[in-house]
Amino acid sequence: MTREDLIHQIKAKQSFLCVGLDSDLSRIPRHLLEAKDPLFEFNKIIIDHTKEHCVAYKPNIAFYESLGSKGWESLAKTVDYIPDTHFTIADAKRGDIGNTSKQYAKTFFETLQFDSITVAPYMGIDSVSPFLEYSDKWVILLALTSNKGSDDFQHMTDVNGEQLFEQVLRKSQAWGSPDNLMFVVGATHPEAFKGIREIAKEHFLLVPGVGAQGGTVAEVCQFGLNEDIGLLINSSRGIIFASDGEDFGERAGESAKQLAMQMQPLI
């Protein structure tokens, strides 16, 4: 999906919501366990009830690969089921030496046909560039993450007082462009968005941490928006696990709609 296509979908849907498919088999409604493929059945119903309120879906790969071949099968079926109008993110957090990254890129861009993948920048340009070789595909580089442990390294400063995540933002812009490179910036760091937008004015930001982790749409948007919206705000558990009963699909749709309605006046 191109940048223009993504912006068009945001404006058409009046939403920049991403639904995270962190589909934990131990948490899905018990009645689904009788299905032939419980994980896919869960995702299918979630997608059916949320697709009108969001522009993207982000399966967290760990919840699928932990189940072995059956999990990969559920993931492939899920990606195929997501409408072509929606941006797809493989939340895989890959990043390795170049020849290994080439294989990761082939897995997620060719075999599974995702639009994008999250990538760790720690090993540098040669671990990231294989993903950037694909046209109309995106790298979403980890910059400032939403977890508590982000303080361990991401805020470390150099001799000039620049934090590590800021160095990642500056350096990596030479690797890609706003047409194929996004950054992960957690909603749990609302105070950082103003400075981040001074460094990365045009790039899209994928923003996890809204909902269960405590971030809010209002805090993110205060400084995170740019002329093209430039945000994909993700909510996972707050949407897909809004209910553990047979009404889980409807409740997920309601939760997604509530977040989308907060975004609508800003578009």
As annotated, the active-site residues are 93
Beta strands of 4-78 (E only): which ranges?
Answer: 17-21, 56-59
Write the CB contacts of 235 (distance below 8 Å, at least 6 apart in sequence). Answer: 17, 18, 19, 20, 210, 211, 212, 255, 256, 259
The neighbour count for residue 237, using CB atoms within 10 Å, is 14
Q: What is the sign, positive or negative, of the torsion defined by CA atoms of 51, 63, 138, 219?
A: positive
Instruction: Say how far apart CA 209 and CA 118 lie, in whole Å.
Output: 15
Compute the radius of gyration of the chain from its Cα atoms: 18
How is residue 40 written in tokens? 């896919």
**Cα dihedral across residues 194, 196, 202, 203: positive or negative:** negative
